[in-house]
Structure 1
């Protein structure tokens, strides 16, 4: 009797995981987006400023966050909740979210708490999208949206953002309708305010989107994580509050950015009853629930914080002006500050370099990690996103280094006005 040797083990990568690399963007992020990110970080100096997220040291969470979390953590009976969240917390969140959106939100039918808005995004898309579905995404838009859609096997159609005469970004509505009418897309997802540009869309734009969505029977996911972080009294219009849109719209909300609560991993998803049931099923096989003790922090979110919010936005506004002034000293760099988020979207395409080359130079020579344009969409090459929610003194020094490095790159290019 002879024994056959078993074949040696070989690691296989599931196709859905390979899809996360966005190979369709290889031309602007060779060999792929994920690998480009890994390669960039592998060359990072030991001490660098990370502008891919908010500085929660300079901008810590409100005082009530730790107090509410600590109080909940002292009660072991609160360690487990249903998949949707603690009922008492859901009641409070529903009341406050109803005021924010301007529409009634039923805590038992229209609401689920998630481990951050990223989980809400994944849950909403997973609950609605089948393999092969055509899904429309803004270009540029949040970096992980396309990755999730590829993971789900969706077919992505991109709709470009365009600058109008006043320097505001807005979606190409003709291209959006063509996706619905010609390409038969039945799902649409976008961030508002837009991440990465910071654009806040006008009431007319939101109403036009709502009209198209109703006309073609499209489901929508709108990420409104930065809905309260807007400047100069800019009106913010919630898509779900438009006539008939609550039924078709999944709205993502949360305290992670404006309130610096990223470390608490809290997200809020608002939608129709069928969607919430679907997301609950997704939660049941992934995270089970949002962090149980952290959920109680949400009872203070959106409540009685108007004065605190104004103060924080004033600080962000001053940092936005500081950042725009510094970067605008490079005449060849194009900058169009928008009315939302804590991001600036810089156009450095005049350098003629790849996004990876620009990002590597800023990281290695200026000690600043930015978010390269290739992360945000096929047409976003030649740009980078920077988060200016940072310590004022250290950020001022970092901006000087960034301007110096970018100026040196321009000098090597030649033909670019430096001042």
Structure 2
């Protein structure tokens, strides 16, 4: 856009990007990957659009569509124009209908005062963090962790300390000794996803209990992103942080139907937390989006109630796709896979190949026609990995995996990796 009437002597405006937005570029990651996270993403054209390639950064909602009742619910409510507007936290009837199933799911009593509906869990994370985090606050963040978590915290000016995810006797845990060592510095929040995004790891009851004990001793809140907590495999036991005694006044839980039930396009998230946190979230929600999509909110009256068989069948399908993905990728010399208990993600360790995340991701785009999420996006310990979502059409995915194996095997051969 140009303005032919503007004088050539006019004082130029400052650059559009604010300082807080530039913090989201993660320029400090250049010490590890050679450039900022923003520039690395731009070089790979990672803008969420796919560009005609097979995009494994998200679920295939054609192969895995929403429950059959979703369309019927939407069609019925859009005929009533009075449902177009709701209070900021959500439709009172929908909120009331959620208290019983959410209480049962989380293993603790939940009331309307503990709930807020948001335009997806992405907005749930941002409105919650915006409500409770001040500039300079110490926030402990799992490493690796969801791609936008640290970017949101950087935008808000938090001081972020990454807490590595580790494995003890093949069980995932955090470096909780590092958390304990930070208690004298008065952290305000520990933030993590369970199952973990990107690794799919599900944390043990012992890990959750010790983190809860540290929260109560250290006076910090815990934000548990449990978006994938219904999508766990086989005999994996899941422990909700909110179910631990003493956590009701300090735990915030993110839930939603976007992944397990493929309702991403309806933009629905559910934030569960103490009443004082929910009152703060209501204010940031009102300032950003006013409310979750009003018609779509009514889908939540059926969520956790009418979809148990649907979810069980979906897990069986995804387990078969997981096994296929592991079988194919294990033929590539040098690749290892992080143990996984949930989600539809596999976190693949490519560090033995001796090339950067960007080179691996670029090769897979150009040679296999597949977009993956490079590991640098998820934090320092994610470097040397990529994340792939295998929730795809089985036949299409089998062919794509063959192309990926060929591309990755060629890198291994060039690098002299044989095992």
TM-score, normalising length: structure 1: 0.95
Query: Residues 308 and 362 (structure 1 numbering): CA distance in 2 closer, same or farther, change over 3 Å?
Result: same
- State whether residues 50 and 371 of structure 2, in contact with CA within 8 Å, keep that contact through their aligned partners in structure 1: no
Is the 2:115–2:272 Cα contact (8 Å) retained in structure 1? Answer: yes
* Aligned with residue 157 of structure 2, among 153, 157, 174: 153
Measured after TM superposition, the shift of residue 4 of structure 1 is 12
TM-score by length of 2: 0.95
Say which of 168, 179, 183 aligns to 1:180: 183
1:398-417 equivalence runs, <5 A? 398-414=400-416, 416-417=417-418
Secondary structure, in 3 states, of the residue corresponding to 1:289?
A: coil
Q: How much does 1:172 deviate?
A: 1.1
CA offsets per residue over residues 223-267 of structure 1, 9 Å max, x none? 000000000131111001100101101100000000000000000
| Residue 42 to residue 369, structure 1, CA distance change in 2 (3 Å) | closer
> 1:110 is matched with which residue?
114
CA distance in 1, matches of 2:387, 2:114: 34
Q: 1:397 aligns with which of 389, 399, 416?
A: 399
- Distance in 2 between the 1:358 and 1:371 partners? 10
Moved more, 367-376 or 19-28: 19-28
- Any conservation in 2 of the 1:157–1:179 contact (CA below 8 Å)? no
Cα–Cα, structure 1 residues 379 and 306, in superposed 2: closer, same or farther, change >3 Å?
Answer: same
Q: CA RMSD in A?
A: 1.7
CA distance in 2, matches of 1:27, 1:184: 28
Distance 1:7 1:270, change over 3 A: same
Q: CA contact under 8 A between 2:195 and 2:228: conserved in structure 1?
A: yes
Q: Residue 318 of structure 1 aligns with which residue?
A: 320
1:332-411 mapped onto 2 (5 Å cutoff) = 332-411=334-413
Q: Residues 45, 111 of structure 1: CA spacing in aligned structure 2 closer, same or farther, 3 A cutoff?
A: closer
SS at match of 1:138: strand
Partner of 1:163: 167
- Equivalent position SS for 1:246: coil
Which of 80, 89, 109 lines up with 1:84 in the alignment? Answer: 89
In the aligned structure 1, how far is the partner of 2:106 from the partner of 2:51? 43
Residues 144, 379 of structure 2: 8 Å contact kept: yes
Deviations 1:317-373 (A, max 9, x none): 000000011111124111133111000011000111111111000011100100000
* Contact preservation (8 Å) 2:228, 2:260: yes
Q: Contact 2:186 / 2:219 at 8 angstroms: preserved in 1?
A: no
* CA apart distance, 1:173: 1.3
Measure how far apart 1:310 and its partner are: 1.1
Alignment of 1:288-307 (within 5 A): 288-307=290-309
How far off is 1:37 after superposition?
1.0
- Cα distance between partner residues in 1 of 2:340 and 2:139: 26
